[in-house]
Every structure is written in C-alpha cells, then in structure tokens.
Structure 1
Amino acid sequence: MSKMQLDLDVIEIKDVCFGEKDDLDHGTLVIDKKGLIEYLADPVFSKIDIELAKPGDSARIIPVKDVIEPRIKEDGKTSFPGIIGDYTECGEGTTKVLRGCAVVSTGTIVGFQEGIIDMSGPGARYTRYSSLNNIVLVTEIIEGIKPAEHEAAVRMAGLKAAHYLAKSALGKTPDYRESYALAESKENLPKVAIMYMIMAQGLLHDNYVYGVDAKRLHPALLHPNEVFDGAIVNGCCVVAGDKYTTYDHQNNSIVQEFYKRHGKEIDFKGLIAVPTYPGLADKRRCCSSAVRMARLLGVDGVAIPEEGGGNPEADLMMLCRQCEKNGIKTVMMLGPDGVEEPVADTAPEADAVINVGDCNEFVVLPPMERIIGDQEQVKYMSGGAEESINEDGSIRVSLSIIMGSVIGQGTLKMSSYVY
C-alpha cells in the first residue's frame, strides 16, 4: 500500500457559463449546453435541462439527488472505475480535478429522502455545496418508470455529466498539485484506521463500490486513495442531512485529516469498507470480518463515522463493542445526540462519541428568486411537510432536509451540547 501515490492536479473553477463549445480558460468553465444534453440522452428521460447556480445567487435547488465533483484520469477514459472506465489505475497515477464546481442532479423526486441546496441566505451556511459553482441537471422521466430505474438513470446522468465536464481539464496546467501516499511511518505512532460504513440497505438506500451494489459485497480493505479516485459512488436516497454524496466520498474530510497527521501523530493504515445491511445475520458477518481485518492490520484504534441513522446505528454499536473487546479503541461520529433524536442502539463501550449536529433543529428559509426543480416537493421530503410552504414562498423545514447539514464527516464543524 505504501507505494501507491495519487497526484491530484487541481484546477480552480472560479466561474461557469454556457458557450458554443466546451472550454476551460483562466478558471472559467465554458459548457456547450446542447452538447452535454445530447451526451446525457436516455430513453428514461422525457426532458433534460441544465441550469447554473452560483454562490450568492438567489436560487434554491430542490429536490437534490447527488452532488459530484468532476474528476478524470490523465488518460481521459476513467472517472468512476467500474462505471466509467477501468479499475487498474484507481488510487494512483494522475487525476485531473475541477475544484470549485460540482454537478448537482435534481428534477422529479426519486425518494422522499432527498434534499435542498440554497445558494444564499440562512440555508447556505448549513451546506458546503452553496460555495460551489453548480451545474444542475434537471431531469423529467417518462411515465411508468419504477423508483429503482429512476434512481439509476439520474445517478448515471450525474456521473456522465461529471466525466464530460472533467475532460475540459485534459492538457491544462493545474493551479496546484496534491499528492497522497501512505509512506512507512518511521516513528512508533498509534496505528489507526477508518471503518467506512457503506449503505447496503436496499429500497434506494445503497452505495456502489467499483460499480457494484454494496448489497453484494463483503467488507474490504481499501487504500484511502481509492476513495479520492472515484471508487465509491452515492446511490442513496437516505435523509439528506446525513447522506454522503459522491462529492463527500471524493473529498472525505476525515481521510484528508488522517493524511495530514500521518507520520506525525498517527500511523494511518487505511480504510475498512463495511457494508451496512438491514438484516442481523449480515450485520454480524460484516462486523466480525471488519474487526478481523482491523486486528490483522494491528491497529490500536479506529474512527467510525456513520452515514444515515436508525438501522445503521446497530452496525455502529456492534463494531464498537467488538473492536473494544479486542483492545481496539473506537471513536464514533454521528448526528443524533440521544436527546433530540434517540440513537437506535447503544453500548457501554461507546464512550468516545463526536456529535456533529442536531438534524431536528427547524429553520425558516426565505423565498428565492429562482427555484431549480420543484419547491412543491418539499411537502413529501424528510424534514418537510404539507404545511412547510408559507404564503410568502418561504419554507419552514428541519436541518435534515438540507444537503450535508449534519454529515458524519463533520464538514460544517457544527455540534450540539447537552446542558
């Protein structure tokens, strides 16, 4: 693992606009709108449109399915191995990154657990996506399409759009380069790993690893570079506030933090990907296997950030109990604080828990000049209700409806306290 090096050639995107041909010049991404729509054509869609939403715009994107950062390997063929491109070079070599922009997929609602991105106003402070130049795919589907087919079509459209846009970076000089390699630690430092819980719940609650539905997987050891390089893709319609978008996998803040401390404070040994199944037998299977991997790595401690809530908390506590039983210290990161929203399971060994915020807190989001998608769908989304839309166009919703507001990675540095 220590020999794998991934170089991210980063180009900072300061603005996005439409033009006659795709181009990238001095930080401005120019998009051939017609060409991109033709590239995304799928019989499932009755209509595809593309809108731009920039930081500070009076714009609300609703309902949001996924957020994706455009990245592509230097050969121009691979962005998401196993889905778009081959597996061979994942986690090493050079990857081009368009930083400061993202593809956002929206349109007709897929599942009730989708989200909102406000580009300005009080809602913008609760999501990091409000700071990005967003290229928004607005899709409508033909009648008779089942939710699973709908989700797959929207997911693929988002990934294809990110791949298409990232091609603009090929041959361009990067603004800077980030290099990631797990060099051998010369110091006798605490050995740590991340137990990376991956949704495998079914019913639109699944992620994908190298293009394979997590419901078909057993725990696996991953190099952290593989996550940065598109190995894990969001396929979830779980509650928006604590959902990991594809962007969150590509820019996992905990992995980044562990890399910063590797060789200085910790000896980072990698990721153990743990599918979180709904059934008890599968939970036990995956937990036992993941803990054995941790023991094989000889780690002293693990961090276990949670995605979603409720059912996955059984996996979280099971991993905690088994790790602690085998002398491996655990730190967990999750949204519910046990007061505003009960944790579905608990364990006496869970004595180091980081709370990343209360998703039940209500906020009033003011009316926006532009709605990208359909604001009426807030009535059917987790965190919204029939009475959420006020007469003036403002909406009263809980933080659970805002994309990434209480994500287990703790990207917004928010927490709640019990007095």
Structure 2
Amino acid sequence: MKLEMGYFHVEDIVFGEKTFFENGLLTINKKEALDIVFEDDNITTADLIIAKKGDPIRITPVKEAVEPRCKVSGGVMFPGVINKLTPAGQGRTHVLKGSCVLAVGKHWGGFQDGLIDMSGPGAKQTIFSQLLNICLVADTNEESERHEQQKKNKALRWAAMRLAEYLGNCVKDLEPEELEVFEHLPLDQRSEEINNLPRVMYILQLQSQMLETGYNALVYGWDANRMLPTLMNPNELLDGAIISGSFMPSSSKISTYQHVNNATIKRLMKEHGKTINFLGVIVSNLNVQLEEKQRSAFFVRQLAVSLGTQGAIVAEEGYGNPDSDFILVINELEDAGIKVVGITNECTGRDGKSQPLVDLSDKADAIVSTGNVSQFIQLGPMDIVIGELESLARDGNSGGWEESVWKDGSVQMENNGMFCADSSTGDHYKTVVEY
C-alpha cells in the first residue's frame, strides 16, 4: 500500500474574498467556510476566529482538532464518517501543514473538552499552541446533552471535519512544496534483508468504554466498542481511517489531528527497512468488563504471535480503568516472548506520590510516561478568550472545579483539562523521569 502526502506549509492565515493558498498564506472566505459549517441544521450559531502562536489567547472548551487536508486520488477524507466508506491509506493526500481546525464550544463544555493557551506558561502544555488555528466557535440545538457532563459533540465535531476538507480542497490541484511517501508492503513482498530485521508491531488501544454509540473513537465510522482487535496498515491511520471520540478526559484524548500525524507510527515507518521490520498496527479497544478486557488481550496476542512479532509498542488512550487493558496486553505479549514498551500517562496525584497506574505488573518494566494528569497548573489572565472561560469551572471539565476561574481571568486547574496535553501518540512536550 502506497500513500503520497503532499505538504503545503502554511505560514499565515487571513480572511479574504476567496479561499486559496499562495506563497505560504492561506486566505479563507469566511462566508463560504461557514456555509459548510451550517450544512448541519443542528448548528445554531457559528463564527471563525484565527489564533496564532504567541497570541495572548486562551481557547476553551476545545472539543476536537482536525488538520485541513483533501484527497487528490485513491479515496475520500474521513471514510465512513463524513464521506462514503472506501479504503484509506493509498493514492495522494494534500495537507495544509502547520494549520489546524479547532472545534470550540461557544458556551457549553464538558468532561471531555479542554483548554489551549497560545502563549505564556500554558502554551508549553500542548502542541496546539504551536499551530495556526482556525477556531470554529459554535453552539448547537443539542439540548438533550447541553447540561450533561459527557457530551457527544457530534454536530461540532462533524462540522470541523467538513471545514477541514473544504480548506484542504483549495490546494487539491496545486503541486505540493514537499512530498512524503509512505509505502508499506505485504509481509510476503518484503526483501529477505528486511525480513531478517527485528519484527516490530504497534498496538493502539482506542478509547471505547461507553456502551452507547456516539462517544467512542471510530474506525472507518465503526464504533470501537463494537470491534475486536484488528490488524491495519499504518497508512490507513495516517490517512484518516480513525476519528477521535468524545469521552476521555481532555489531556489523555487523541484528537483526529494527532491520529493522522501519529509521531510513533511515522518514526516506525522511518526505521522500517533500516533497523526494524515494521509489521503494522493492531488497533484494539479499551473495555469495561474484565471478560471483555481479557478477550481483547487474547486477540492482540494471537495476531502478534501469528505475524511473528518480536517487539511491540503498546499505546493507551486514557488512564484509570483502561490501565487494566494496558497491563493485560503487556502481560500477554511478554508471556508470548514479545518484548514490550508501553506508552501512557499517569495519575499520581498533585504530589506525584500516588500509584501511577490502576493496575501494575512486573512484566511492564519499560514504560514511557507522557505526564501526570493530576499536575496542578496556575495560569494568569489572557487578553482574549475564545469560547467561554466559565465552562472550565461550570461544566464538569475534567481538570476544572467550581473555583477554577478567578475574577481577573486567571485559572487554576489540573493538567487533566489541557487539550490533548499528554496523549500517547508521541507528539508532546513532556514526560516523567524516574531518578
């Protein structure tokens, strides 16, 4: 399977009379872009606001992040979700690199929504402070979940994908500034030299604990709660086959932007044929009942062993209850003679002294930590707030509480509420080091 990614590097974004890209400048016709947003009658109000690196801007409640891109050949964007179901991971995709569409609530937030600072100390918590963000600030008529702590946020999340595709289409017929090729051949078509290298598998555990549909991560539009561990070509993930859910505490969530830019997958692809034989990706889920957890772990082991895996990276989306899925998979793989490195965040309390994971094992002796969800953070006021700052304290944000927002606009919160601050894909600023 061969995927070409054509990159157009965005250096600035402005609004103008038409949507086009030229010499690093992305110009957006706001009316046309909002027309795409209002294709969903559930969206009642919407605006677009540009937030740039270094701006004195605080954004909350952030619900989703999507990279502007379009398919030039070989499929559609976000198959099975906003477009028809076709295979992803082949042909050519054009990308407006350095830009991002953020879905932001105009008023109502929830447990799974987060905060982004574009400057100051808070900017060091998340990669999204380094991007040129097109903030879709909108409200909806989804009254049934307005006051719920857990929100599906479907109208806004789907609008963000449509908007990202609309923006990406402005470079559909242009020649990219940079072309990156990802080619992942079937095992029987690889050279003897590659097949003699250490055989490595990447296992991605998607958040899927909600029994009701609409909250969990989607694989080709299919609720991950309804799936068994599945072998996928890494190109599929880099080309939009997986969509972020709307359930996890914000810092632990893997946004759609991060799925298509998964830094761990990209590094494994880079090392393929040089230091490792990258076998592919096992996409698994995170469950609630013990029997479901054990079943998934058995299937992961079966797939890995059948493919002759010698080493594996296991990445967990979230923490708490999912830690048991994480440890079960590591135990099964280690018992099968497969060496494992895990990637996860921790919940060690504000003092850092609590047990880092709900479940532990002597076999989980190589863990990359992406940070402590309980880290206490204090941030001064910002000149501009996009969205509604009160949502941090009022709406059950996983990192906020009643006294989180002060009268002068300062906030105190836990890292839990920073948008995708310590997700497990490898694109973040921080870790925890044991001395």
Residue in 1 that maps onto 2:123 = 124
What letter corresponds to residue 365 of structure 2 in structure 1? D
Aligned pairs for 1:376-415 (under 5 A) are 376-379=390-393, 380-415=396-431
Whether 1:212 aligns to 2:238 is: no
What letter corresponds to residue 181 of structure 2 in structure 1? S
Structure-2 change in CA distance of 1:393 and 1:69 (3 Å): same
What letter corresponds to residue 180 of structure 1 in structure 2? F
Structure-2 change in CA distance of 1:293 and 1:77 (3 Å): closer
Residue in 1 that maps onto 2:140 = 141
- Tell me the alpha carbon deviations over residues 253-296 of structure 1, each in whole angstroms, 9 at most, x when there is no partner: 10011112111111100000001121222212211111100011
Residue in 1 that maps onto 2:89 = 91
What letter corresponds to residue 251 of structure 2 in structure 1? G
Provide the secondary structure at the position in 1 that maps to 2:244.
Answer: strand
What letter corresponds to residue 326 of structure 2 in structure 1? L
More off after superposition, 163-172 vs 198-207: 198-207
- Tell me the alpha carbon deviations over residues 358-407 of structure 1, each in whole angstroms, 9 at most, x when there is no partner: 22222221211111100001113111121122232111122221122222
Mapped contact 1:103–1:135 kept (Cα < 8 A): yes
What letter corresponds to residue 234 of structure 1 in structure 2? S
Residue in 2 that maps onto 1:336 = 346
Whether 1:167 aligns to 2:181 is: no
- Tell me the alpha carbon deviations over residues 322-364 of structure 1, each in whole angstroms, 9 at most, x when there is no partner: 1111111111011117554531111121111111222222222
Residue in 2 that maps onto 1:36 = 33
Which of the numbers 237, 240, 257 marks the counterpart of 1:227?
237
Provide the secondary structure at the position in 1 that maps to 2:65.
Answer: strand
Which of the numbers 176, 181, 193 marks the counterpart of 2:201?
193
Q: Deviation at 1:417?
A: 3.1
Provide the secondary structure at the position in 1 that maps to 2:102.
Answer: strand
Mapped contact 1:48–1:139 kept (Cα < 8 A): yes
How far apart, in 1, do the equivalents of 2:261 and 2:142 lie?
36
Provide the secondary structure at the position in 2 that maps to 1:259.
Answer: helix
C-alpha RMSD of the superposition: 1.9
What letter corresponds to residue 201 of structure 2 in structure 1? A
Mapped contact 1:382–1:400 kept (Cα < 8 A): yes
Which of the numbers 357, 365, 387 marks the counterpart of 2:379?
365
Structure-2 change in CA distance of 1:149 and 1:238 (3 Å): closer
Q: Deviation at 1:119?
A: 0.7
**Contiguous gaps of at least 5 residues in structure 1:** none
Mapped contact 2:6–2:176 kept (Cα < 8 A): yes
How far apart, in 2, do the equivalents of 1:223 and 1:19 lie?
40
Structure-2 change in CA distance of 1:341 and 1:87 (3 Å): farther
What letter corresponds to residue 99 of structure 1 in structure 2? K
Residue in 2 that maps onto 1:105 = 103
Mapped contact 1:196–1:271 kept (Cα < 8 A): yes
What letter corresponds to residue 345 of structure 1 in structure 2? D
More off after superposition, 182-191 vs 38-47: 182-191
Q: Deviation at 1:144?
A: 2.6
How far apart, in 2, do the equivalents of 1:170 and 1:341 lie?
51
How far apart, in 1, do the equivalents of 2:253 and 2:368 lie?
17
Mapped contact 1:52–1:133 kept (Cα < 8 A): yes
Whether 1:297 aligns to 2:327 is: no
How far apart, in 2, do the equivalents of 1:96 and 1:71 lie?
5
Mapped contact 1:112–1:382 kept (Cα < 8 A): yes
- Tell me the alpha carbon deviations over residues 152-208 of structure 1, each in whole angstroms, 9 at most, x when there is no partner: 212211111111111111111211001111352514211000111111111665100
Structure-2 change in CA distance of 1:143 and 1:166 (3 Å): closer
Q: Number of aligned pairs?
A: 416
How far apart, in 2, do the equivalents of 1:283 and 1:240 lie?
23
Mapped contact 2:100–2:134 kept (Cα < 8 A): yes
Structure-2 change in CA distance of 1:282 and 1:75 (3 Å): same
Query: Identity rate of aligned residues, in percent?
Result: 35
How far apart, in 2, do the equivalents of 1:307 and 1:150 lie?
18
More off after superposition, 85-94 vs 350-359: 85-94
Q: Deviation at 1:109?
A: 3.2
More off after superposition, 86-95 vs 5-14: 86-95
Residue in 2 that maps onto 1:71 = 69
How far apart, in 1, do the equivalents of 2:387 and 2:82 lie?
27
How far apart, in 1, do the equivalents of 2:46 and 2:283 lie?
35
How far apart, in 1, do the equivalents of 2:230 and 2:142 lie?
39
How far apart, in 1, do the equivalents of 2:118 and 2:233 lie?
34
What letter corresponds to residue 161 of structure 1 in structure 2? L
What letter corresponds to residue 430 of structure 2 in structure 1? M
Q: Deviation at 1:418?
A: 3.9
TM-score, with structure 1 as normaliser: 0.95
How far apart, in 1, do the equivalents of 2:384 and 2:273 lie?
48
Structure-2 change in CA distance of 1:67 and 1:214 (3 Å): same
Residue in 2 that maps onto 1:10 = 7
Q: Deviation at 1:75?
A: 4.3
Mapped contact 2:378–2:412 kept (Cα < 8 A): yes
Mapped contact 1:341–1:360 kept (Cα < 8 A): no
Mapped contact 1:356–1:408 kept (Cα < 8 A): yes
- Tell me the alpha carbon deviations over residues 129-155 of structure 1, each in whole angstroms, 9 at most, x when there is no partner: 111111111111226333688522122
Mapped contact 1:110–1:150 kept (Cα < 8 A): no
